[in-house]
Amino acid sequence: MLDYQRLQQQLIACDQPDWAAELPAELDEILSTNKNSRMPEWAATLASLEDFNTTSIDLKLDSIRLGYSEELPADQQQQLAQILHALHPWRKGPFNIMGIEVDTEWRSDWKWQRLEHSLGDLSDLNLLDVGCGSGYHVLRMLGAGAKSVIGIEPTLLYVAQFLALQHFARQAQAVVLPYTLEALGERVAPFDLVFSMGVLYHRRSPLDHLLKLRELTESDGRLLLETLVVEDQELLVPKGRYAQMRNVWFIPSTDQLIQWLERCGFKDCEVIDVSTTSIEEQRSTDWMTFDSLEQFLDPSDHNKTIEGYPAPSRAIILANAT
């Protein structure tokens, strides 16, 4: 599924020659421990994508456009839709791929709209997106003018989804690799702007996550952090599941989060946005047919999760490295 040589070339194009040199050995190691039994199936799905001639790519649109429907005869469109459906569940998007509207679980464009105006000029900047899912924001960052964007994503299905998108997008300056943040080696050169969105609350050691993000941020670089927050208490540590998720560990108040950031080597923390996630932003669709947020909230009171905790609210903070 992963073409090491091509990924190495892309890392070099993203100003990461030392990482590129280490890549084959590191990927061997990662794939030997992350043996998803569906890998061969996804590899076959990707291999069945034909060489489409996509002339119109628009990474600035809310529904990222990769080709026009007119570029593909109707019977092939159905075939392509089937191939893409084989990579279910599609969580982060949306995308329009040669006329096929991939209506993902999340309206990831809404998150992008909340933050894009705060980023400033991205040209000449190398970006890292930690926990990038399908790579929707990776492509939006490139569309917004970034020099290069590297996404890391340990869930191999989402890496496969990005590879499917890249089949049409063909962006040399965008790459998604199957790493966790913790697995990034010392040879990785620091980035001008690091994104960690929707990852911190999944970490058992959130301060270690922030310290690692700091390590990967240039000394004059910035961090864009997005995570769940609570309003009426300093810190929520769910007793069991939170909105049905088993792996939610720490949900701080925004003030507490800023304190954590300052302890971990960031300053000038600016709260760009705090929004409650609505059932219009995260929902089941034809491309993600499992339960979604509506089923995870108290049916009689959408201000609470099904477990009785405050419903998901997320803060976006932009900070400078110290």
Site residues (vs ligand SAM, CB under 6 A)? 92, 108, 111, 130-133, 152-155, 158, 180-182, 197-199, 202
Structure tokens given for 193:
């702007």
Chain position whose Cβ is nearest to ligand SAM: 131
- Report how far residue 67's alpha carbon sits from residue 97's, in angstroms, rounded to the nearest whole number: 6
CB of 312 to ligand SAM, least distance (A): 10
Nearer to ligand SAM by Cβ, of 67 and 143: the residue is: 143
β-bridge mates for residue 97, sequence order = 66, 100
CA 231, 232, 233, 238 torsion: positive or negative? negative
Residue closer to ligand SAM by CB (options 67, 94) is: 94
320 exposure class (CB count in 10 Å sphere: 0-12, 13-18, 19+)? middle
Find all residues with CB under 8 Å of 5, minimum gap 6, and list them: none
CB proximity list for 221: less than 8 A, separation 6 or greater? 190, 191, 192, 193, 194, 320, 321
Nearest approach in angstroms of CB 175 to ligand SAM is 15
Q: Which is closer to ligand SAM, CB of 108 or CB of 126?
A: 108
User: Considering beta carbons, is residue 98 or 199 the nearer one to ligand SAM?
Assistant: 199
Taking the complex as a whole, the smallest distance from the CB of residue 282 to ligand SAM amounts, in Å, to 10
CB of residue 202 to ligand SAM, shortest distance in Å: 5
Phi/psi region, residue 146 (left: phi>0; alpha: psi -120 to 50; beta: rest), is: beta
Is 80 or 210 the residue whose CB approaches ligand SAM more closely?
210
Nearer to ligand SAM, 153 or 192 (CB): 153
**Minimum gap (Å) between residue 72 Cβ and ligand SAM:** 28
Q: State the nearest-atom distance from the C-beta of 112 to ligand SAM, in Å.
A: 9
Strands 191-197, 126-130: pairing kind: parallel
Strand segments, DSSP code E, in 25-125 are 57-58, 64-66, 92-93, 95-97, 100-102, 106-107
